[in-house]
Structure 1
């Protein structure tokens, strides 16, 4: 649904047309969010139209104006490159979005003067739940590939998992200020390493989150694959666990290299499922979206193995 879904009212407070939501980004054709949300709404018995809208940063303000003026909008899922650009266009930030200054979710509330746009960040929960449902409930150390918007969510997530130190593995160490500042504020010890030389640091961390775009970690993957045979992929708590948020194509070269060295790999879609669950709760108010049944049908919709109860 490039260009925006049509018709509808939001919370049923402005007419009787169907409710609607959409995922925004550029490019957006590959997004799995419509499948995830559609499966959840069907399981919950909710009529809510959910589509894709391909938008650049320059086009975003005009589209947000439409959301404010057109009936029907319940919420927006926001992906690259809009997670920062949309922040000044909402009315307030809540929870993790306020802490991080980055959002991936907008909820359209209805105030006395009209729609109120509220920003949330469900990426943090998505990362945490992906690790927890893989049996990784705690981690002492973490490595994060990249230092952009998703890396900020990764910082908050590894802190929630109990990490005490984090290494940022980046292509340009001079551009890590925001991520490093956040890590220090939440009490993490921080190191920064150039990505080209950081494979040993990655395999030494309990958990690793790659926030790089598709194929951007291919060179790093080759460095992981080339490490000496004795490079440790296990620690007292079990195998080192990698979450690669880039899910298309899959498996990524990094996922293949990590698994080839004996590490555990989490599919990027696992994070997407769990962050989408929280979006469904925010868009509908239906907390049963977190149930095993709804999560299972969402996993089925994108071919991710169901979580273990």
Structure 2
């Protein structure tokens, strides 16, 4: 097994979220709240960067820069740029956090942990059978999250079942059965948790009624336009829909851990106070 490069010295006081689009991002608000509680004078901004510009923009950063949060469409490009990957980033091929060190960038996927924490926050500690709606960029993170919560079977419902094929291979690596289905013929489900990775505003029409019929917890990764049509249908059917704000919040806490200590595993000083301030920054009372 190749040796992992050592962790280089942490540098800089500048941080930012990059993506395209990025003007809607709540990350600056979240991170400013965290660093206010921690008492560190770091500057966190946002910048619109497309996939074609990513490599050049990353190379141009100087020693004033400590790290980056990455949103779409940059997560795979960020993974390719990283000197090392944490386990979740390696499994998903997606990096949403780059820690810049004297040795080079280190990549992390905190989306997985954000989903796990959101589901647990709703009182669900174990998910033997899960379901994912959509087969887009967040689906691999959703699959890893459900597996960490104990899933042994995950149905992935997509418009194009062939898009699920790469997830079947990931499922085999994780020891979980991935069953593809489409929205018009989705089988009855006893899933404890459904994670929707569909674009905001997606209206599934009559298919939503069938998907919501068995209730349970719906984590819809959308947070900008809430409630989504699916969330409204879910609630009407007696289930519990929650928005992607929880995922955004908890993945950001893990990002702050990375920027402070270089690890997602080391808790922050007075982390409950940091979490409360970040929650207030995006959710209010």
Q: TM-score, normalised by structure 1?
A: 0.83
In the other structure, the counterpart of 2:6 is none
Q: Secondary structure at the match of 1:163?
A: coil
What's the RMSD between the two structures over aligned residues? 2.1
Deviation per residue, 1:8-58 (Å, 9 max, x gap): xx945xxxxx71111111111111111111111101111111111111111
Gaps in structure 1 of 5+ consecutive residues: 1-9, 13-17, 234-239
Is 2:267 the partner of 1:275? no
2:207 to 223, 231, 240: 223
Q: 1:188 aligns with which of 169, 176, 179?
A: 176
Per-residue deviation, 1:144:
0.6
CA contact (8 A) 1:40 1:297 kept: yes
Aligned-pair CA distance for 1:129: 0.2
Structure 1 residues 58 and 163 mapped into 2: Cα distance closer, same or farther (>3 Å)? same
Q: Which runs of 4+ in 1 moved over 4 A?
A: none
Match of 1:213, SS? coil
| Aligned residue-pair number | 273
* Offset at residue 66 of structure 1 (A): 1.3
| Aligned counterparts, 1:90-239, within 5 A | 90-111=82-103, 116-198=104-186, 201=188, 204-216=190-202, 218-219=203-204, 222-225=206-209, 227=210, 231-233=213-215
> 1:86 matched to which residue of 2?
78
Question: What is the distance in 2 between the residues matched to 1:76 and 1:212?
Answer: 25
Structure 2: gaps spanning 5 or more residues: 1-8
- What CA distance in whole angstroms lies between the structure 2 residues aligned with 1:247 and 1:170? 21
Q: CA deviation at 1:228?
A: 10
Tell whether 2:231 aligns with 1:255.
Answer: yes
**Contact 2:17–2:27 (CA<8 Å) still a contact in 1?**
yes
The alignment partner of 2:138 has SS state of: helix
Structure 1 distance, partners of 2:208, 2:198, is: 16
Q: 1:196 to 1:100 in 2, by over 3 A?
A: same
Partner of 2:57: 63
